[in-house]
């Protein structure tokens, strides 16, 4: 990574440390940088581009797009929580045709690396979305969002069942360019996330996005009713980071060759490094951008510093480094 990024500010002393090769890969998708945006937190990246050069990131993960335009869930849609926030947007969006014509065209013209996130209410809808993207140039990877908690019917959360999750991934794989990596986005709201990860890998997923938000709710004490119009919402932010790191760790421990895009409450480079050491090949930064729009690039800079301070000369050497001791016990999920 160019040292020009660190010409001023608190990162000056990085110039005193050895350079770190920050390149990484998600399946066959090679990228010179390991930090991505998180789906749903930056639309298609245009808003963030006024704060920093989005082409310096590993890639832009777009807001999940559906086949037809969608208005989303009832308002209010957001609520603050300790160390986090709840959102109940409900996959509002323009639909795939408008997305391709406007958002994807802008990202391609801008020169960004593009990860298109798709979501559907049926296997057939995912198939049609993949088919539409198959002939579109400039898509580096497809994130298959099978885990959004902000749907009216929780039965639509395909990632909560290994068979349903597999069916979606198989359909997307069949209808996608074989050169385009498929990233399955998983939910933490399951008994054993490794079971789901194994199922989608067998179904054709080239990588995983871990984790989506976890389902939560808030009661407004003035109205004594749910604070969100949709009653429940997805909890994100620092409050879920330990859950996310645990999920990444468990999956990497069981499936060490499956690339992981780690996410969940990352605020700085030290947070990002936890995910890398747990087994993530790259990370996504999301909720923090609502109060610090420049956070994705800052986290990337801080991650390079954190790696250099610990003697790493390449990010790839740090992936899964926390697993290096043969004496570490396996983590088992227990239900009380």
Distances in Å between the alpha carbon of 62 and those of 25, 115, 284, 309?
18, 6, 11, 32
User: What secondary structure letter does DSSP report for 17?
Assistant: S
Contact of 201 with 258, CB cutoff 8 Å = yes
Instruction: Give the pairing type, strands 24-26 and 29-31.
Output: antiparallel
Tokens of 15: 């110039």
In the residue annotation, 247 being an active-site residue is answered as no
Please give the Cα distance from 262 to 243 (Å, whole number).
11
Out of 41, 148, 160, 247, pick the active-site residue.
148
Going by C-alpha positions, the residue among 165, 113, 124 that lies closest to residue 144 is 165
Contact of 115 with 183, CB cutoff 8 Å = yes
Contact of 266 with 18, CB cutoff 8 Å = no
The secondary element (H helix, E strand) that includes residue 254 is helix 241-254
Q: Which residues are annotated as catalytic?
A: 148
């Amino acid at each position: 990574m160019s040292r020009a990024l660190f010409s001023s500010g608190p990162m000056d002393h990085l110039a005193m440390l050895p350079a770190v090769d920050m390149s990484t890969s998600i399946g066959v998708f090679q990228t010179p940088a390991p930090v991505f945006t998180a789906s749903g937190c930056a639309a298609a990246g245009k808003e963030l581009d006024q704060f920093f050069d989005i082409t310096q990131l590993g890639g832009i993960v777009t807001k999940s797009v559906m086949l037809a335009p969608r208005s989303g869930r009832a308002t209010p849609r957001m609520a603050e929580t300790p160390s986090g926030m709840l959102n109940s947007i409900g996959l509002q969006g323009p639909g795939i045709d408008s997305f391709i014509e406007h958002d994807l065209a802008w990202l391609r013209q801008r020169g960004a690396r593009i990860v298109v996130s798709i979501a559907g209410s049926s296997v057939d809808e995912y198939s049609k979305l993949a088919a539409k993207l198959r002939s579109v140039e400039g898509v580096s990877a497809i994130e298959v969002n099978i885990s959004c908690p902000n749907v009216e019917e929780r039965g639509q959360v395909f990632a909560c069942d290994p068979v349903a999750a597999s069916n979606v991934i198989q359909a997307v794989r069949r209808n996608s360019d074989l050169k385009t990596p498929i990233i399955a986005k998983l939910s933490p709201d399951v008994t054993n996330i490794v079971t789901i990860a194994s199922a989608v890998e067998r179904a054709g997923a080239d990588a995983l996005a871990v984790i989506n938000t976890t389902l939560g709710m808030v009661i407004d004490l003035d109205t004594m009713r749910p604070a969100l119009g949709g009653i429940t919402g997805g909890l994100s932010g620092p409050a879920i980071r330990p859950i996310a790191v645990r999920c990444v760790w468990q999956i990497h421990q069981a499936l060490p060759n499956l690339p992981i895009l780690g996410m969940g409450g990352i605020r700085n480079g030290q947070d990002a490094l936890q995910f890398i050491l747990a087994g993530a090949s790259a990370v996504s930064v999301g909720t923090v951008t609502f109060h610090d729009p420049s956070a994705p690039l800052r986290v990337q800079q801080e991650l390079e510093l954190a790696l250099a301070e610990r003697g790493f000369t390449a990010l790839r050497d740090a992936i899964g480094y926390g697993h290096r001791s043969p004496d570490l016990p396996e983590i088992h999920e227990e239900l009380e």
